[in-house]
């Protein structure tokens, strides 16, 4: 494994495992858990996370077929559900890899049925209901009712479940979430009374798992909480212990002393007012470190906070280390995580960048290798670029 990275993300697999165990403790016995590992497990590495959760997760949720096939090619054979749209051209591959998809139109179901029939296979689907997100899904009207009843009669299709997605579950006021749940329950009951059965009903996301056990049904979908982050600041954090799984680290690439009156970075937005020691960090917005942190973010060096000077560049940025003794090339830099008594959370960085925790971890780019730890020991490194001789 390489140990000379300019920037890297440490991923604590024990934290991921414990976060899911703690989520399961909030559900009733027998409740299944789908771990959401779309977007490369929110930037943490989908295959590595899926393997870590093998004995606690019952299924995996992804956003696109390619994410599901990645799991299958890694030998992961648990149920996989594509939560969003799957183009018609991908139906054969989806069926061959035994990956389920959300269905929310008659045309989708009909095409999937015909494709499965031609392949001599059975396709797996979950009916998606739109109860208040206004994104994808069947409305709860007579037309949708009749369509779903027709879908249930199509050959070579297995309806494995029915789900919806909460739009405002992470808010203190649960009025809208309860309204969505009521719509879902009433419509599913109507369908079941008409003979349409759903082996697995699922609506609950991370916020629902934490705060509303009454909506946890047959299965819950654990997303952001898997990675040790709370869905929002409004969620009651006392109900579950979550441990962030990602740290973002780098090294100092250069240190110089500037006299007063010197401009720093693009646009000259910062000018020194005293003799200033400036350290360059070889990380930028191309790595997913937000440009919006220009002139207001900070990092940790030697356990002390070093403020960002001027604009964050594509591949580098500068920090003030005047008041941090003995900073030199090669010193550790903590962008997110702990260094001594200092700590920078994902939420802190994201908030300063006018973003939020979900977006920040998903934006950590492919130039940033993931270094995996279990029981405090480095076990694996995931590189998005090939190894080479040095």
Active site residues: 38, 266
Structural tokens at position 18: 């414990």
Among 146, 92, 156, 84, residue whose Cα is nearest residue 124: 156
Residue ranges of the alpha helices (H) in the chain?
A: 13-24, 38-42, 46-52, 65-73, 91-96, 106-119, 142-151, 175-193, 206-211, 346-352, 357-363
Cα 47 to Cα 54: distance, rounded to the nearest angstrom: 11
In whole angstroms, what is the distance from residue 68 CA to residue 387 CA?
Answer: 25
Within a 13 Å sphere around the CA of 60, how many CA atoms are in the beta-carbon half? 31
Residues 6+ apart with CB under 8 A from 385: 366, 367
Question: Rounded CA gap, 234 and 231, in Å?
Answer: 8
In the block, tokens 């560049």 appear at 313
Contact in structure between 331 and 340 (CB atoms under 8 Å) = no
Question: Within 13 Å of residue 243, how many CA atoms lie on the same side as its CB?
Answer: 14
Q: State the CB neighbour count (10 A cutoff) for residue 356.
A: 16
| Structural tokens at position 328 | 């030199």
Residue 162, both tokens = 């029915």
Instruction: Give 3-state DSSP helix, strand, coil % of the chain, rounded to 5.
Output: 30, 25, 40
CA 200 to CA 378: how far, in whole Å? 38
Joined together, the tokens standing for residue 251 give: 């090294």
Q: Which residues contact 261 (CB under 8 A, 6 or more apart)?
A: 271, 272, 273
Q: Are strands 263-264 and 270-271 parallel, antiparallel or unpaired?
A: antiparallel
Identify the sign of the CA torsion 137, 139, 143, 148: positive
Cβ–Cβ contacts within 10 Å for residue 232, how many?
18
């Amino acid at each position: 494994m390489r140990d000379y990275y300019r920037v890297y993300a440490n991923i604590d697999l024990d934290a991921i495992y414990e976060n899911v165990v703690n989520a399961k403790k909030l559900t009733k016995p027998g409740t299944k858990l789908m771990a959401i590992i779309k977007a490369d497990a929110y930037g943490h590495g989908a295959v590595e996370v899926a393997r870590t959760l093998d004995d606690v997760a019952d299924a995996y949720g992804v956003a696109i077929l390619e994410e599901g096939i990645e799991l299958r090619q890694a030998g992961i054979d648990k149920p996989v559900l594509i939560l969003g749209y799957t183009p018609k051209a991908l139906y054969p591959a989806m069926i061959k890899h035994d990956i389920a998809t959300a269905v929310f139109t008659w045309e989708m179901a009909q095409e999937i049925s015909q494709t499965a029939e031609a392949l001599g296979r059975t396709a797996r689907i979950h009916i998606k209901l739109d109860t208040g997100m206004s994104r994808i899904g069947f409305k709860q009207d007579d037309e949708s009712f009749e369509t779903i009843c027709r879908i249930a009669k199509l050959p070579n299709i297995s309806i494995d479940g029915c789900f919806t997605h909460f739009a405002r579950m992470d808010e203190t006021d649960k009025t809208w979430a309860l309204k969505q749940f009521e719509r879902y329950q009433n419509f599913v009951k109507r369908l079941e009374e008409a003979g349409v059965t759903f082996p697995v009903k699922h609506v609950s996301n991370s916020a629902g798992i934490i705060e509303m056990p009454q909506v946890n049904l047959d299965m819950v979908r654990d997303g952001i909480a898997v990675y040790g982050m709370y869905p929002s600041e409004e969620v009651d954090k006392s109900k579950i212990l979550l441990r962030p799984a990602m740290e973002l680290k780098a090294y100092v690439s250069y240190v110089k002393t500037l006299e007063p009156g010197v401009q720093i970075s693009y646009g000259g937005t910062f000018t020194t007012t005293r003799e200033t020691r400036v350290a360059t960090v070889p990380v930028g917005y191309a790595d997913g470190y937000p440009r919006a942190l220009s002139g207001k973010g900070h990092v940790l060096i030697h356990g002390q906070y070093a403020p960002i000077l001027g604009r964050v560049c594509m591949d580098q940025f500068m920090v003030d280390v005047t008041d941090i003794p003995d900073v030199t090339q090669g010193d550790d830099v903590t962008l997110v995580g702990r260094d001594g008594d200092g700590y920078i959370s994902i939420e802190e960085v994201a908030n300063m960048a006018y973003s939020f925790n979900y977006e920040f971890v998903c934006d950590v780019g492919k130039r940033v290798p993931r270094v995996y730890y279990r029981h405090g020991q480095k076990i694996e490194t995931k590189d998005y670029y090939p190894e080479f001789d040095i």
